[in-house]
Amino acid sequence: MRIKAIIGLGNPGIRYASSRHNAGFMVLDQLAARWNAQAWFTRYQAKLSLVTAAGKRILLVKPQTYMNNSGMAVRSVLRAYSICPEDMLLIYDDLDLEVGQLRFRRKGSAGGHKGVKSVLDHLNEEDFHRLRLGIGNPPPDVAVVDYVLGAFSKQEWAIMGGVIDIAVEGVELWLHNGVDEAMARVNGTFVESGNNHA
């Protein structure tokens, strides 16, 4: 059975656990809990967990190389498990989407995201699916690096809970029916608070 890789981007350690930049890790933690995944283990510069869900063998991947070097771990894991980029889904935060928005994408550039750029550089390939989670733009007086490494506000957390729930549903759609169905059902969603969305 071919293995699918679901990869969330973030930074390792307690210091960054609740930061905006770790939205990808947050979705993977929720997926692991929903699917009763095996305990996380560390190998190939990543935290990994194996699970069978939606009738598929799935590898959950949290690179531990820090965001800007995410591609090192992604390349190592894909090679070790003989996973093609076409069988992976990359989940990450996105400044170009508002908090409450999420969007599947078939392929494309990094869009200024250094973690995604690292993955593109190490794989030399952009033909893999992505799920982008909006974190909005920083206020004018806050540097981008400080903003992405900062924690969500209480109001943003209320929204992100709903976003993560929809992201998990979207991942299951992606697994069952492919990226076109996931794009059709998820793109355009906007979570205003809690689990309410339009």
Active site residue ranges: 21
Token pair in block for residue 149: 């490494």
CA-to-CA separations, 118 to 5, 27, 74, 141, in angstroms, rounded: 17, 20, 9, 28
Give whole-number Cα distances, 60 to 5, 64, 83, 87, 194, in Å.
6, 13, 12, 12, 26
Under 8 Å between Cβ of 166 and 158: no
What is the distance between the alpha carbons of residues 146 and 35, in angstroms, rounded to a whole number? 33
Query: Under a CB-based contact definition with an 8 Å cutoff, are residues 111 and 94 in contact?
Result: yes
